Homo-oligomer: A and B are copies of this chain.
Amino acid sequence: MKTSKEYKQSLKKMNANIYKFGELIKDVTTHPATKRTVEGHAQIFDAAQKPEYKDILTTKSGLTGKPVTRYLSILKNADDMISNVKMKRLMFNLTGTCTGGRCAGFNALNAMWAATYDIDKDMKTDYHKRLKKWLENAQKEDITISGALTDPKGDRSKPASLQKDPDMNLHVIDSNDKGITVRGAKVMICGVAAANELFIMPGTGYKEPDKDYAVSFVIPRDIDNLTIVETRRPSDTRELEDGFDNPVNIGGITQAYLLFDDVFIPKERVFMNGEYKYSLNAVMNFIAPYRAAIGGCVAGQGDVMIGAAALMARANGISEKVFREKINKMIINNETTFGLGIAASALGKKHESGVWIPNPLLSNVNKVHVATLPYDTKRIVQDIAGGIGETGCLPSYKDLNDPKYGELLKKYLKANCTGESRAKISRLIEWLTIGSGVPGCMHGGGSPDGAKLVINLQTDINKYMDLAKRLIDLKEDIQVEKK
């Protein structure tokens, strides 16, 4: 398994195809727009070697029996999935934010593990074998894979094949013995700058006319004809500045637009090509572990928020015990999403291919909580922190170090600690709650409304009515006329 140094080396060697602010990023490991997310991902390699984290971050390969990073493993039982939830929480603890270049890739791998199995079984294709072979090598090379699901979609009221512009969803424009050529885009893709390869998932809602859109494959990040543009995030230009106004240097997020301008993918890296009937299940199997594990993510960031709030209270000269009820609420929020992730893991089922699929009802219930509870947690941090934390309302690092008035500013920032410490803690709270450390968890892995839809689909209302009818011994069959 790679060291963090080797990991960074592997990124340095890749061709430059990522842009931000009109500029080509030559080296993602040193450019201020991407270096923090690389540092965050690098921590995975470092932590994997520490005894206290090893069991969480690594496992034994089902293919070779050798130790591999958990991010390149196939989930085979409830315990694997529970470890996955814990791993997400740990990585947010260590980086303060999302290491998104790995988890969507991990989910894509597992979802396509099942999908390729099913397709092959029905269609006599060899996708599963291709995937297995690719994975064996990926484990050997210990690469980092980012996953990509979201298409631009265009007008949400129309399917892919009826869009005015056919490119609004990624699609195959040519397919032959050697491979396929694709055009379109994937958008809002996390952690691309920190990845060696990109695992592309199909979208969903595809029928026969949309079959060119049912496509899945894996590519090197720096493949020909792929242009990557990083998006903005709150306060992202601070990352180009010096000093602690960007308080965290060992973690960071990137989210990219991937522009596929007729990219060729050799067939051994293609895992779906037209089998549109399997795309829904592929996506469902992607979101089940995603929406379970994300409960660990937001709990992990919530842990940091508890710490930041308690520190700020002390910095202001107030014991954190004064805020016991509020800190309790933060803990409850964290443990609720974490716990539901664990529960979804524990009550999952084994797919015929060997993959463990978490319980979809509990996963999606968790997604709804993930779309609300962390907002409450952020609000509480700002509440405890006072005005200085609410909007990061304090002068800039540059001003704090201004020769004319910098000392005065620091004097007035002092409370129960130095002005500089208080400024740093405030900036951390700003970063976590309203700055560039805020991950896109509400819509990451799909929207809460999508989750509610799945909850509905998982629910047989008649079973509930039967319980009630049995209790009161009601025989009348009550139906509502359809209109």
The answer to whether B248 touches A324, judged by C-beta atoms less than 8 angstroms apart, is: no
Candidates B241, B324, B408, B471; contact of A227 at CB < 8 Å: B408
- Is A201's CB within 8 Å of the partner chain B? no
Please tell me which stretch of A4-12, A112-120, A274-282, A300-308 contacts chain B, meaning at least 4 of its Cβ atoms lie within 8 angstroms of it. Answer: A300-308
Residue with the greatest number of chain B CB neighbours at <10 A, chosen from A230, A257, A331, A393:
A393
How many Å lie between the Cα of A48 and that of B434 in the bound state?
34
With contact pairs A229-B405, A234-B235, A393-B188 given, residues A361 and B335 touching in the complex (Cβ less than 8 Å): yes
Tell me the number of copies of this protein: 4
Q: What are 20 sample pairs from A and B whose C-beta atoms fall under 8 A apart?
A: A20-B396, A95-B471, A157-B416, A157-B481, A157-B483, A167-B412, A185-B408, A234-B234, A234-B392, A235-B236, A237-B238, A257-B395, A311-B474, A328-B455, A336-B336, A340-B343, A383-B447, A386-B443, A387-B447, A421-B478
Q: Give the interface size class of chain A.
A: 35 or more
Closest Cβ of chain B: how far from A382's Cβ, in Å?
6
Please tell me which stretch of A55-63, A127-135, A148-156 contacts chain B, meaning at least 4 of its Cβ atoms lie within 8 angstroms of it. Answer: A148-156
Chain B residue nearest to A338 in the complex (CB): B343
The answer to whether B412 touches A185, judged by C-beta atoms less than 8 angstroms apart, is: yes
The answer to whether B365 touches A339, judged by C-beta atoms less than 8 angstroms apart, is: yes
- Is A123's CB within 8 Å of the partner chain B? no
The answer to whether B21 touches A399, judged by C-beta atoms less than 8 angstroms apart, is: yes
- Residues of chain B contacted by A467 (CB below 8 angstroms): 93, 303-304, 307
Candidates B227, B372, B461; contact of A310 at CB < 8 Å: B461
The 8 closest A-B pairs by CB, nearest first: A307-B468, A307-B464, A339-B343, A387-B443, A155-B317, A342-B343, A152-B412, A346-B346
The answer to whether A417 touches B476, judged by C-beta atoms less than 8 angstroms apart, is: yes
Residue with the greatest number of chain B CB neighbours at <10 A, chosen from A404, A412, A456, A465:
A412
With contact pairs A19-B399, A234-B392, A392-B233 given, residues A442 and B383 touching in the complex (Cβ less than 8 Å): yes
Residues A441-483 near B (CB distance < 8 A): 442-444, 447-449, 452, 455-456, 459, 461, 463-469, 471-474, 476, 478-481, 483
How many Å lie between the Cα of A464 and that of B398 in the bound state?
29
With contact pairs A78-B346, A428-B472 given, residues A316 and B156 touching in the complex (Cβ less than 8 Å): yes
- Residues of chain B contacted by A344 (CB below 8 angstroms): 339
How many Å lie between the Cα of A245 and that of B478 in the bound state?
21
- Is A427's CB within 8 Å of the partner chain B? yes
With contact pairs A339-B339, A467-B93 given, residues A434 and B424 touching in the complex (Cβ less than 8 Å): no
How many Å lie between the Cα of A155 and that of B416 in the bound state?
5
The answer to whether B469 touches A307, judged by C-beta atoms less than 8 angstroms apart, is: yes
- Is A179's CB within 8 Å of the partner chain B? no
- Is A409's CB within 8 Å of the partner chain B? yes
Closest Cβ of chain B: how far from A155's Cβ, in Å?
4
16 further interface pairs, Cβ-Cβ under 8 Å (given A150-B387, A231-B394, A328-B452): A20-B396, A21-B396, A21-B399, A153-B415, A154-B317, A167-B411, A187-B412, A232-B394, A306-B461, A307-B463, A310-B464, A325-B452, A336-B365, A416-B480, A428-B471, A428-B472
